[in-house]
Structure 1
C-alpha cells in the first residue's frame, strides 16, 4: 500500500484483551482497515412496572450494542512473500484465529475442567475469559462481550488458505450492571460514560425561538 510523507497518521480501531485483575495486556487485535461504518444500538433500561410516576425512571445504563464489518486482505503482504512468510504459508488464518479466540475458551481451560470433572469435583466454575476492550478513538474505550461473529472467506490461495475475508462483529458494551463498580471493566465503562457527558456539555444551548415559540406552555 502506497503511503505519502505528508499523509495524516490514521488511528486504528481494534480490540485489546487484558487481564481483568492485573490490567496486563494479553493480546491486541488491530483492524487492518478501519470499517466505514460503526452501528450503535441502544436499549434504554426503563423501570418498566407501568406504575404512575415511573415513566421517567431508569434501572441503569442503556444496553448498547456495537456492530462493525471489517475487511482482512493479504494482497499487500503477498506482493512481498520473502518479507511475509507467515502470510505466504498460512494466508490470513492467524488473524482469523486471533479473532476466534474472543469466543472460545482455551484448550488448557477445557483440559483443566475435564481433569476437575474426572476427579469428582462437584462444582466447576465457568471458564473466565480475558476482559475485551473495543477501542475506537481515545474517547471510546469500552469493555465488551461478543454477541455474534461471522466470517465470510472470499478468496483462497492454491493451498486453500484464506487470503481475503469479511468479518461481521456484534458486541455488547458491558456496563456496571454487568460487571459492578469494583471491576476494572466497570471503571472503564464509567470513564466512557463520563467522556460522553463531557462531550455533550460542549454542545451550545438552543433558543426556544429556533423552534418557532417564545415560551413553553405552563
Structure 2
C-alpha cells in the first residue's frame, strides 16, 4: 500500500478577520455548508436627472406639434413628476428608434449589495475521541465564541482593552465597530463581508454543559466597492472570467427561438 488516497483534497471555507488585530479572529469551517443562498436585488425607477427629463420633454413637445395639440404644459408637468410609475414610463414614446433601448436609457436602477446565507455545523465528537483536551473540556465553545466576537466591536473586548493600555498602544485592537470579515470560499471567492446575523442552535452538551454540537445560521452582506477593495475586485474579476468561459456553450443558442 502506498498510503496515498485517491480522494481529492477538499478545501474548507472560513471566516477570517480583515486587517491586523489582537486577538486575531478566524474560524475554519469544520464541515463545509451543504448549500449557500445568494441574492441580489435591483430596484428600478422612473426618470432621473434633468438631462433625461428635458430629452423626453422635447420629444413630447415635438409629438404634440405633429398631433396638432397645444397641451404642452400638461406634458411637461407630467414628465417631471417624480410620482410617475415605472409602468407608465415603459409605455412612453422615446426618441430612440428602438423602444427597449429608450426604456433602458430612461429608467434608473439602484443595486443592493449581494447577500449570502448558510448554516455552519460544528461537532466536537471526533476531537474528543482523539483525546483533544480543549475539545474534551470546552467542546465547540471556542469556535462559537469566535463567531460571536466577529459581531462585536473590538472596543468591547476585554483583551483588547488590556493591550491598548500598554505604552506601545496596540490602537488597532480598540475599534468601536464590528470587524470586517473575509468570507473565503475556495480560490474564486474571497469576499469582504459584514456579518449581519448569527443564530446559534446548540444541540448537545458535555457533562459540564459546554456545547459539543451546534448549528450556526449566518447572514452576510458583501462589501462591494471600487478597485481599492482588493478582495472584492479579485473575486469580481474571476466572476467575469467565468462568464467569458460560458461562451463555450454558445452553440446552445441554436436551440433557442429568438424573434427576428
Give the TM-score, by structure 2 length: 0.63
Report deviation, 1:17.
Answer: 0.9
Report deviation, 1:187.
Answer: 2.4
Match of 2:12 in 1: 12
Match of 1:40 in 2: 38
Aligned-partner Cα distance in 2 for 1:207–1:155: 51
Residue 190 in 1 paired to residue 233 in 2?
yes
Match of 2:58 in 1: none
Q: What is the count of residue pairs matched by the alignment? A: 189
Query: If each structure's strand is expressed as a fraction of its own residues, which one has the higher value?
Result: 1
Structure 1 unaligned segments of length 5 or more: list them.
113-124
Report deviation, 1:163.
Answer: 0.5
Aligned-partner Cα distance in 2 for 1:138–1:128: 29
Match of 1:74 among 113, 124, 143: 124
Structure 2 unaligned segments of length 5 or more: list them.
49-88, 90-102, 162-173
Q: Deviations over 1:13-42 (max 9, x none)?
A: 1111121xx699933210000111011111
Q: Deviations over 1:84-117 (max 9, x none)?
A: 11111111111100111111123348997xxxxx
Residue 127 in 1 paired to residue 172 in 2?
no
Report deviation, 1:127.
Answer: 1.1
When residues 24 and 96 of structure 1 are mapped into structure 2, their CA distance, relative to the original with a 3 A threshold, is closer
**Cα RMSD, aligned residues only:** 3.1
Aligned-partner Cα distance in 2 for 1:148–1:55: 37
Q: Secondary structure at the match of 1:159?
A: coil
When residues 49 and 57 of structure 1 are mapped into structure 2, their CA distance, relative to the original with a 3 A threshold, is closer
Query: If each structure's helix is expressed as a fraction of its own residues, which one has the higher value?
Result: 2
When residues 4 and 157 of structure 1 are mapped into structure 2, their CA distance, relative to the original with a 3 A threshold, is farther
Match of 2:214 among 153, 165, 168: 165
Residue 65 in 1 paired to residue 115 in 2?
yes
Match of 2:148 among 100, 103, 108: 100
Aligned-partner Cα distance in 2 for 1:88–1:12: 23
Contact residue 46 and residue 107 of structure 2 kept, 8 A: no
Aligned-partner Cα distance in 1 for 2:212–2:254: 58
Q: Deviations over 1:114-173 (max 9, x none)?
A: xxxxxxxxxxx9713333110111101100001111000001111111100001011001
Aligned-partner Cα distance in 1 for 2:38–2:213: 26
Residue 86 in 1 paired to residue 129 in 2?
no
Aligned-partner Cα distance in 1 for 2:159–2:22: 23
